[in-house]
Amino acid sequence: MINRILEAICAVILAVAVLIAFVSVIFRYVLGSSLSWSFEASIGMLTYLTFIGCYLAMRKNSHLRVDVFVNKLPRLGQFAVFALNQLLIVGIAWVMVYHGGRQAYLFADSPTLVMELPSGILYAIIPISGLLMGIDSMAGLVAGWHRLMNGGPAFVVEPTSEHMDI
- Domain presence at residue 86: yes
- Domain presence at residue 127: yes
Measured torsion, CA atoms of residues 161, 145, 157, 13, in degrees rounded to the nearest 10: 40
CA distance 143 to 137: 10
- Domain presence at residue 109: yes
- Note the pLDDT of residue 158: 58
- Domain presence at residue 29: yes
Q: How many domains are contained in the chain?
A: 1
Let me know: does 151 contact 140? Beta carbons within 8 Å: no
Range of the domain at 57: 2-149
Mean pLDDT, the chain, as a whole number? 90
Of 11-15, 17-21, 113-117, the least confident: 113-117
Classify each residue of 128-151 as buried b or exposed e, where b means 16 or more C-beta atoms within 10 Å of its C-beta: bbbbbbbebbbebbebbeebbeee
Q: In terms of Cα–Cα distance, which of 2, 1, 9, 13 is closest to 132?
A: 2
- Note the pLDDT of residue 112: 87
- Grade residue 157 by pLDDT with cuts at 50, 70 and 90: low
- Domain presence at residue 161: no
- Domain presence at residue 154: no
| Mean pLDDT value of segment 76-97 | 95
- Note the pLDDT of residue 156: 74
- Domain presence at residue 164: no
- Domain presence at residue 122: yes
CA distance 13 to 19: 10
Is pLDDT at 92 greater than 80 in this prediction?
yes
pLDDT digits (tens, 9 = 90+) for 21-69: 999 999 999 998 889 899 999 999 999 999 999 999 999 988 777 888 8
Coil/strand/helix, residue 118: strand
- Grade residue 155 by pLDDT with cuts at 50, 70 and 90: confident
Predicted TM-score (pTM) of this structure: 0.84
Write the Ramachandran bin of 156: left for phi over 0, alpha for psi from -120 to 50, otherwise beta. beta
**Hey, how many other C-beta atoms are within 10 angstroms of the C-beta on 34?**
13
Alpha-carbon Rg for the chain in angstroms: 20
